[in-house]
Amino acid sequence: MKRLFSGIQPSGDLHIGNYLGAIRNWVRMLTEYDCIFCIVDYHAITISYEVETMQSRIINAAAECIACGLNPDECTIFVQSHVPEHTELAWIFNTVTPMGDLGRMTQFKEKSEQHKQNVNVGLFDYPVLQAADILIYKAEAVPVGQDQIQHIEFSRRVARAFNSRYGETFPEPFHLTPNIGRIMGLDGKSKMSKSLENHISLSDSPEAIKKKLATAVTDINRKRRNDPGNPEICNILTLHRLLSTEKEIEYVGTECRKAGIGCIECKMILAKNMTAELEPIRERARELKENPERVREVLEAGKRRCRTIAAETVREVKTKMGLL
């Protein structure tokens, strides 16, 4: 079985974009790959955060991943900072990484813009730690969204640079990017994000889902109920495609184009389907959050397995580099 690695930020309650864009696909890969999933707390601290809430954010993210279907009997889930070999390997990778490669990273430019008060070295070095996260497990498959493809290509370059300097050690990882369209936030402007308050949380109640969808931006050119709409530029149709039946998607698309359906009716069909999908997840997550010890046991088991693999890789790397 090839190994698969992916990470998720401990940004509190996960949202529907995390689920539909990432975790739901991870669940489908459990039988195909040896899957390792990481709560990336060291990445999370590259922007300002509340120290008091970090532990609960980590537990909540893990609980929700498990509730979404990442069965700990079928995969490994752990916390990045519990395996210190990640940062050790990242330091080693720093020495085979040209500064210019990091300066060209789109995410660094965007985050530097968003967090002008805190443009730190960790933010700049983020892709190197990400390369270490993946390569320390010699993972080959990395499921990511479109915006992370550049970082996976960067990881390939790091693997190549290390292999050519010190001998064949790492596979060059490939990205697995689902063809599902970009899930925008409810504001219709940016990617769905917890920090931008444009999201629907996995923990939202059916009423909250309806309320949030009711205010979501649609085709901005469709100003009145009688105006025909263009569903292809509407985020609501993107979500329908991920949650509704073929018949409903066809109905909504056709009726929208001839003004046969209003946006509220269209959104309420989506709300019904979203609620049906999220209800069992919300219930399982609630049970797990009430029993954080159960979640900690999963993370502890993940740490034990990952430390064994990571220590072995670091030993091999240091030997090849003449450090052991």
Residue 131 near ligand SF4 by CB under 6 A:
no
Is 194 tagged catalytic? yes
Helix pair angle (263-290, 206-214), 10° resolution: 140
Residue 219 near ligand SF4 by CB under 6 A:
yes
Is 210 tagged catalytic? no
Residue 231 near ligand SF4 by CB under 6 A:
yes
Is residue 183 a contact partner of residue 22, using CB atoms and an 8 Å limit?
no
Please return the burial class of 295, using the count of CB atoms within 10 Å of its CB with bins 0-12, 13-18 and 19+.
buried
Torsion-angle region of 12 (φ positive above 0: left; ψ -120 to 50: alpha; else: beta)? left
- Binding to ligand SF4 by CB under 6 A, coded x per residue (else -) over 165-204, reads ----------------------------------------
Q: Nearer Cβ to ligand SF4, position 123 or 271?
A: 271
Beta strands at 3-8 and 174-176: parallel, antiparallel or unpaired: unpaired
Residue 218 near ligand SF4 by CB under 6 A:
yes
Q: Provide, rounded to whole angstroms, the least separation between the CB of residue 219 and ligand SF4.
A: 4
- Binding to ligand SF4 by CB under 6 A, coded x per residue (else -) over 263-302, reads x--xx-----------------------------------
3-state secondary structure of 158: helix
Instruction: Phi first, then psi: give them for residue 142, nearest 5 degrees.
Output: -135, 100
Is 303 tagged catalytic? no
Q: Which stretch binds ligand SF4 (CB under 6 A): 2-10, 77-85, 192-200, 215-223?
A: 215-223
Residue 222 near ligand SF4 by CB under 6 A:
yes
DSSP-H helix ranges across the chain? 16-18, 24-28, 41-44, 54-67, 85-94, 99-103, 106-114, 121-135, 149-166, 206-214, 235-243, 246-257, 263-290, 292-320
> Interface residues with ligand SF4 (CB under 6 A)?
218-219, 222, 229, 231, 234, 236-237, 252, 256, 261, 263, 266-267
Report, as residue numbers or ranges, the catalytic residues.
111, 191, 194
